[in-house]
Chain A
Amino acid sequence: MTLFGRKLPALSSLILWALLWELVGRLELTFFVPPFSEVATTLVGLIPTPGFLSALGVTAAAFGAGVFFAIVIGIPVGILMGKSRVLDELLLPWVNIFLSAPLTALVPVLMVLFGFGTRTVIITTTLFAIWIIILNARAGVRQINRSLVEMARSFGASPLDAFFKVYFWAALPEILGGVRIGVIRAVKGVIIGQLLISIVGFGALFELYSSKFLMAEFWAVLIVLFGLAFALSEFLAYLERKVSYYAASRG
């Protein structure tokens, strides 16, 4: 972005929005929106508190576990679906249904099935993330150059070697794209889990601050969450760019 012929640093549009936020806050139009400066001060004060740090730990652990299962199950399933007609016909309708299904509505069912503990939060997180990871891994495998598959076969690759040494790497750009979107969806999943299933972690903080109308604290936690999700997604986008050079040269 340039202004008056000068190049502005990245994210400078955020400064504009922060100023607007500050203005709306100062006008005291609604108590839901305290001035940005107040939120920022609260944020700085909030982060070192034990309550916040333990909430962050609980949420991060559930999020990490959920994403881990989504990746470890999702990538192989997607690759197998891309390679096997039978498996693809069997699973694709379900993957598509769950991808577009309102998963939040399924949360009560999950609670009946798996109880009210962290386990159910992790399962919810996995369910939010896994479908797009499967679909992208499948798409990645399906576009693998046919001669690369024949190459692996003609040089005597075992199915396991072909999977780990050729298919996985050949599909990596698409797989990473799926993981990036999946991770963003998992952020949604873990917060919904911690709001609806077991009120712990960031979910408990949101619950607490919104019920007591502590709006500065509420917004501060939300900003932290946005920040973390954004950083994670940017990191994965960076990894994606690192392998994208060969997405173009795979032909």
Chain B
Amino acid sequence: MSQIKPDARHVAPATDSAVSVRNVSKVYGDVQALKDLTLDFPRGELTSLLGPSGCGKTTLLKIIAGLLPATSGEVLINGRAVNGPGPDRSFVFQDFALMPWATVLRNVAFGLELRGVAKSEREAVAEKYIAAVGLAGFEQKYPHQLSGGMRQRVGLARALSVNAEVLLLDEPFSAVDEQTRRKFQEDMLELVQKEKKTFIFVTHSIEEAVYVSDQIAILLPRPSRVSEIIRPASFRDKGVANIRRDPEYLDIVDRIWASLRNYVE
């Protein structure tokens, strides 16, 4: 069964955490986007940030990435405070953020290029991850020659190729069609298993969050705080094909909807 913990601040992390968010607040002008938010992200697991639009989940992700400064509080990666982007984290963007003038190969290798890795070496790494996301043979294509789903695979390969410990994904599948999305979600599970990285995944889809996550943090808006943390327990090892009809999966989806429905305009 799942264990549902009503208040994040009183929860001891199940395993050690790769990322800890401690009492983070974010104020834009006179809008309080995040208020005193505390959350732990267990190492090697996928945690979803789920909530209605405007709940600050992308803001939180960008603060973890170091792209936005927190107004107060801190983010710790392996115990070290974040002040800016770093090689221990990599980001997958909602709109892919690929360079249209560069081939798939150069796009995927770009993180390593910026770190000064030699061309032959970084291209070897990039080729490996291009194959890992299922794009072998597309190395010399340009982004505008690919479909939306394929472009996001490029974004994913780029994030993987820098070998960061923490992957931050900002609604990565929201701009691709439903079928591609489902395939992505299945691949995602495989990737979490294989890569042993900590994934932080922002989504507004309840089904997607429950399907891919080891831990789901429900964020409620205005100002944002963590309202509950759900850890699905039983269906993770039943195989990708069986998850969507597992009773626990269906239960959790229903329960999350029940708690979020009041916040949907």
A251 touches B66 (CB 8 A): no
**Smallest beta-carbon distance A184→chain B, Å:** 25
A246: which of B95, B110, B115, B144 is its contact (CB, 8 Å)?
Answer: B144
Complex CA gap A68/B223 in Å reads 54
Complex CA gap A177/B71 in Å reads 41
B67 touches A166 (CB 8 A): no
A156 touches B114 (CB 8 A): yes
Identify 17 new A-B residue pairs, CB closer than 8 A, beyond the known A148-B97, A156-B85, A165-B110: A150-B62, A150-B67, A152-B114, A153-B85, A155-B85, A155-B91, A155-B110, A155-B111, A156-B111, A156-B115, A165-B113, A166-B99, A245-B100, A246-B100, A246-B144, A249-B100, A251-B95
Q: Which residues in B have their C-beta under 8 angstroms from that of A147?
A: 93-97
A157 touches B97 (CB 8 A): no
Complex CA gap A145/B95 in Å reads 9
B101 touches A156 (CB 8 A): no
Size of B's binding interface in residues, CB under 8 A: 28
Task: Tell me the chain B residues, 73-108 only, with Cβ under 8 Å from chain A.
Answer: 85-87, 89-91, 93-97, 99-101
B97: which of A150, A158, A169, A243 is its contact (CB, 8 Å)?
Answer: A150
A155 touches B90 (CB 8 A): yes
15 contacts across the A-B interface (CB closer than 8 A)? A147-B94, A147-B95, A147-B96, A150-B62, A150-B97, A154-B85, A155-B85, A155-B91, A155-B111, A156-B114, A161-B114, A165-B114, A246-B101, A246-B142, A249-B144
Complex CA gap A170/B100 in Å reads 8
B101 touches A169 (CB 8 A): yes
Q: Is the interface of B mostly helix, strand, loop or mixed?
A: loop
| Interface presence of B162 (CB below 8 A) | yes
Provided the pairs A147-B93, A150-B67, A150-B91 are in contact, do residues A155 and B99 lie with their beta carbons within 8 angstroms?
no
The interface of chain A, by Cβ under 8 A from chain B, is 145, 147-148, 150-158, 161, 165-166, 169-170, 172, 243, 245-246, 248-251
| Interface presence of B21 (CB below 8 A) | no
B95 touches A154 (CB 8 A): no
Q: Which residues in A have their C-beta under 8 angstroms from that of B162?
A: 155
B99 touches A154 (CB 8 A): no
Q: Which residues in A have their C-beta under 8 angstroms from that of B94?
A: 147
The interface of chain B, by Cβ under 8 A from chain A, is 62, 65-67, 85-87, 89-91, 93-97, 99-101, 110-111, 113-115, 142-144, 158, 162
**Smallest beta-carbon distance A106→chain B, Å:** 38
Complex CA gap A187/B142 in Å reads 37
Complex CA gap A155/B95 in Å reads 16
Q: Which residues in A have their C-beta under 8 angstroms from that of B85?
A: 153-156
B67 touches A154 (CB 8 A): yes
A250: which of B62, B100, B115 is its contact (CB, 8 Å)?
Answer: B100
B91 touches A154 (CB 8 A): yes
A243 touches B90 (CB 8 A): no
Provided the pairs A154-B90, A156-B115 are in contact, do residues A245 and B97 lie with their beta carbons within 8 angstroms?
no
Complex CA gap A176/B144 in Å reads 20
